[in-house]
Structure 1
Amino acid sequence: MAYNWVSKKILNENLVEKIKIKYKLKEYIAQTIVNRGYDDLKKVDEYLNPDLNMMHSPFLLDGIEKASSVIKYHIEKNNKITIYGDYDVDGITGTSILYKTLKKLGADVNFYIPDRLQEGYGINLNAIEKIYNLGSSLIITVDCGITSVIEVEHAKKLGIEIIVTDHHQVPDVLPDATCVINPHIKNCTYPYRELSGVGVAFKLCLALIGDDALDYLDIVALGTVADIVPLTGENRIIVKEGLKMMKNSKNKGLKALINVSGLNNKDINTYHVGFVLAPRLNAAGRLESAVSCVNLLTTDDDIEANRIAEYLNSENIKRQELEKKMLDEAIVQVETKIDLDKEKFIVLYSEDWHPGIIGIVSSRITEKYNRPSILISICGDTGKGSGRSIKGFNIYDAIKYAGDCLIGFGGHEMAAGITIKKDEIESFKDKLNEYAESKLNDIDLIPTIEIETSIENETIDLEGANQLSLLEPFGNSNPMPAYIINHLHVKQTYTVGNNKHLRIIAQKNDMCYDIILFHMGSEANKFKEGYIIDIAGYINVNEWNGDKKVEIIAKDIKIKEKNTIFFRNLLNNIMNFNDFTAESLDNKNFIDMRGIQDRQSYILKMFRSNESVAVIVNTRYHLNKLINYLIVHDYRDFKLSSKAVNVEKMILWNSNYKDVDYLQSIFKNIIFYDIPFDSKMFYNILANDKNSKIHLLYGKEDIKANLKDIFEIIPRRSDFAKVYINIKKSGSTIVFKDQVYDYFKLNSVKVMLCLKILKNFGLIKIEESDNIFVLRRNNIESKVDIKDDEIIKKLYASRKIFLRFAFRILKTKIKEETA
Structure 2
Amino acid sequence: MAEKWFIKNKKADYNQISNKYGITELMSKLIINRDIINDDMIKSYMNPDFDKLHNPRDMKDLEKAVGILCGKIESNKKIRIVGDYDVDGVISTYILYEALKRCDANVDYEIPDRIKDGYGININIIKQAKEDGIDTILTCDNGISAIEPIKYAKDIGLTVIITDHHDIPFALDENSTRKFISPIADAIINPKQKDCNYKFKKLCGAGVAFKLVEVLYEKFNIHKKECYKFIEFLAIATVCDVVDLIDENRIFVKKGLELINNTTNLGLQELIRECEMNEKTLSVYHLGFIIGPCINACGRLDSAKEGLKLLLSKEEDEANELAKSLVKLNQERKDMTLDGVETAIEIVQKNNMINDKIFVIYIPDVHESLAGIIAGRIREKYNVPTLIITKSENGAKGSGRSIEEYNMFEELVKCKDLLGNFGGHPMAAGFSLKEENIDDFRRKLNENTTLKDDDLLKKVTIDCILSLDSIDYELINDLERLEPFGKANSKPLFAEKNVKLLKATILGKNRNVLKFKIKTKFNKALDAIYFGDIYEFEEMINNKYSSEELQKLYDGSYNDVKVDLVFYPSINEYNGNVSIQIVVQNYR
Please give the TM-score of this superposition, normalised by the length of structure 2. 0.88
Q: CA deviation at 1:410?
A: 3.7
Query: How many angstroms does 1:97 deviate by?
Result: 0.6
Q: Look up the match of 2:374.
A: 361
Partner of 1:8: 8
In the alignment, which of 218, 237, 245 is matched to residue 231 of structure 1?
Answer: 245
Structure 1 equivalent of residue 525 of structure 2: 512
> Which of 29, 34, 37 matches 2:35?
37
Q: Secondary structure at the match of 1:241?
A: helix
Who is 2:580 aligned against? Answer: 550
Q: Per-residue deviation at 1:24?
A: 5.3
Which structure has the higher relative contact order (CA within 8 Å, separation 6+)? 2
Deviation string for 1:362-413 (max 9, x for gaps)?
A: 1101111212222222123333322222124333333344445444334333
Q: 1:132 to 1:382 in 2, by over 3 A?
A: farther
Q: Is 1:175 matched up with 2:183?
A: yes
Letter in 1 for 2:249: N
Residue 685 of structure 1 corresponds to which residue in structure 2?
none
Structure 1 residue 345: Cα displacement:
2.6
The aligned residue for residue 522 of structure 1 is 535
Relative to 1, partners in 2 of residues 1:179 and 1:427: Cα closer, same or farther, differing over 3 Å? farther
Please say if residues 121 and 417 of structure 1, whose CA atoms lie closer than 8 Å, have aligned partners that are also in contact: no
CA contact (8 A) 2:213 2:227 kept: yes
Change (3 A) 1:174 1:10: closer
Identity, in percent, stands at: 36
Q: What is aligned with 2:512?
A: 500
Shift of residue 513 of structure 1?
Answer: 2.6
Query: Which AA in structure 2 matches 1:463?
Result: E
Most deviating of 378-387 and 100-109: 378-387
Q: Match of 1:370, as an amino acid?
A: N
Find the aligned partners of 2:35 and 2:167 in 1 and give their Cα distance.
25
Q: Give the whole-Å Cα distance in 2 for the aligned partners of 1:411 and 1:69.
A: 33
Please name the residue that 2:173 is paired with: none
TM-score, normalising length: structure 1: 0.64
What are structure 2's unaligned runs of at least 5 residues?
Answer: 171-180, 219-223, 542-549, 554-558
CA 540–20 in structure 1, closer or farther in 2 if over 3 Å, else same: farther
Matched, 1:204 2:212: yes
Judging changes above 3 Å, is the alpha-carbon distance between structure 1 residues 180 and 268 closer, same or farther for their aligned structure 2 residues?
Answer: same
2:329 is the alignment partner of 1:319:
no
Matching residue of 1:411: 424
In the alignment, what sits opposite 1:490?
501
Matched-pair contact (CA < 8 Å) for 2:368–2:392 = no
Task: Return the match for 2:137 from 127, 136, 139.
Answer: 139
**Structure 2 CA distance for partners of 1:468 and 1:379, relative to 1, 3 Å:** same
In structure 2, the partner of 1:107 is: 105
Q: 1:350 to 1:66 in 2, by over 3 A?
A: same
Kindly indicate whether residue 266 of structure 2 is the aligned counterpart of residue 258 of structure 1. no
Distance verdict in 2 for CA 1:262–1:543, change over 3 Å: farther
Superposition deviation, residue 330 in structure 1? 1.1
Aligned partners of 1:171 and 1:434: how far apart in 2? 28
Q: Deviations over 1:510-560 (max 9, x none)?
A: 2323222224233463443331111112223333344333332222111xx
The unaligned stretches of length 5 or more in structure 1 are: 559-819
Letter in 1 for 2:580: V
Measured in 1, the distance between the counterparts of 2:97 and 2:420 equals 31
* Deviation by residue 1:300-334 (Cα, 9 ceiling, x = unmatched): 22322222111111111111110110001111222
CA distance in 1, matches of 2:299, 2:434: 23
Are positions 1:127 and 2:120 aligned together?
no
Contact 1:168 1:411 in 2 (8 A): no
| Residue type at the aligned position of 1:556 | N
Query: What is residue 484 of structure 2 aligned with on the other side?
Result: 473
Task: Name the CA distance, whole Å, in 2 between partners of 1:338 and 1:381.
Answer: 29
Q: Which has more radius of gyration?
A: 1
Alignment of 1:214-363 (within 5 A): 214-337=228-351, 339-341=353-355, 343-363=356-376
CA-atom RMSD in angstroms: 2.3
Measure the CA separation in 2 of the matches of 1:58 and 1:184: 14
The superposition leaves residues 606-625 of structure 1 with CA deviations (integer Å, 9 ceiling, x where unpaired) of: xxxxxxxxxxxxxxxxxxxx
Q: Deviations over 1:260-312 (max 9, x none)?
A: 22222433221111112111111111111111111111222232222211111
CA distance in 2, matches of 1:501, 1:119: 44
Judging changes above 3 Å, is the alpha-carbon distance between structure 1 residues 69 and 423 closer, same or farther for their aligned structure 2 residues? Answer: farther
Shift of 1:258: 2.0
Contact 1:286-1:357 at 8 Å conserved across structures:
yes
The 1:101–1:410 alpha-carbon spacing in structure 2 relative to 1, beyond 3 Å, is farther
> Counterpart in 1 of 2:174?
none
Show the counterpart of 1:804. Answer: none
In the alignment, the residues of structure 2 paired with residue 353 and residue 550 of structure 1 have an alpha-carbon distance, to the nearest angstrom, of: 45
What CA distance in whole angstroms lies between the structure 1 residues aligned with 2:353 and 2:538? Answer: 32
| Counterparts of residues 580-595 of structure 1 (less than 5 Å) | none
For residue 96 of structure 1, what is the amino acid of its counterpart? Y
Q: Could you say what secondary structure the match of 2:516 adopts?
A: strand
Q: Once the 2 structures are TM-superposed, how far is the Cα of residue 88 of structure 1 from its aligned partner?
A: 0.8
Cα distance change on mapping 1:548 and 1:495 into 2, 3 Å? same
Report how far residue 227 of structure 1 moved. 0.6
